[in-house]
A and B are shown apart, each in its own frame.
Chain A
Amino acid sequence: GAGVSQTPSNKVTEKGKYVELRCDPISGHTALYWYRQSLGQGPEFLIYFQGTGAADDSGLPNDRFFAVRPEGSVSTLKIQRTERGDSAVYLCASSLQPGQGQETQYFGPGTRLLVL
């Protein structure tokens, strides 16, 4: 079946603007993760959803970042008052219902965000 998809693939915005990044997980996957990857770094955990609820949002850097998953499928990462330091690739991953963190995460292609 289809893999994880993310839209848009690229987003250019101006400092101070609001952006939304969308993730469509693999059908049937109840777990969804958001990561941020800066140049030369590995993915940095932002938030994890189990179903509709955020089970762990400890990676969100500040209150400008927020994510939702209202129906337990598609998720939206929202960034308010964007700053140049928010420029990065935002990755989404999904997995089957988690046991003890052992499930394979399937990654999407990412959204490349550039804040001017």
Chain B
Amino acid sequence: AQSVSQHNHHVILSEAASLELGCNYSYGGTVNLFWYVQYPGQHLQLLLKYFSGDPLVKGIKGFEAEFIKSKFSFNLRKPSVQWSDTAEYFCAVNARTGGFKTIFGAGTRLFVKA
């Protein structure tokens, strides 16, 4: 069965610090990978996604993620966080074939100190 593991449940950073949130998935086939974000009081929204091609994917608001197939990882990065990046971040995966069942990780709560 597919599963997604997010390494950190809570992360606290100061503004301008660099961010890396870990995500590992368990699935033997070809997958689609996503990062979703939920800002305080808002809906879940897509940050970025990867299907194929360049394993370094750029998303909105300066975020990027790198797919490393050999490590089953899809870590999220941002060189310099802002206070407005305070949110909960979810990694998600679905199978390329019949990929309607999307599996989410438990989420990482990021708090950025101004």
Contact = CB atoms under 8 A, between A and B. Distances in A.
B96 to A, nearest CB: 5
A40 interface: yes
17 contacts: A40-B9, A40-B106, A40-B107, A42-B4, A42-B104, A42-B106, A43-B44, A48-B100, A98-B99, A100-B51, A100-B96, A101-B95, A101-B98, A101-B99, A104-B46, A106-B45, A109-B43
Interface of B: 4, 9, 32, 36, 43-46, 49, 51, 90, 92, 94-107
Contact of B105 (A35, A42, A101, A102): A42
Contacts of B45: 106-107
A104 B49 contact: yes
Contact of A41 (B32, B51, B98, B106): B106
B106 A59 contact: no
Q: Which 6 A-B pairs have the closest CB atoms?
A: A101-B99, A42-B104, A107-B44, A48-B100, A101-B94, A107-B43
Contacts of A4: 43
Interface centre among B97, B98, B102 (most CB of A within 10 A): B102
A35 B66 CA distance: 27
Interface in A62-96: 91, 93
A108 interface: yes
Contacts of B104: 35, 42-45
Interface residues of A, number: 30
B107 A55 contact: no
Interface in A24-42: 31, 33, 35, 40-42
Contacts, number: 68
Contacts of A105: 46, 102
Interface of A: 3-4, 31, 33, 35, 40-45, 48, 50, 55-56, 58-59, 91, 93, 98, 100-102, 104-110
B102 A45 contact: yes
B32 A43 contact: no
Given A33-B102, A44-B104, A56-B101, A101 B43 contact: no
B32 A91 contact: no
Contacts of B106: 40-42
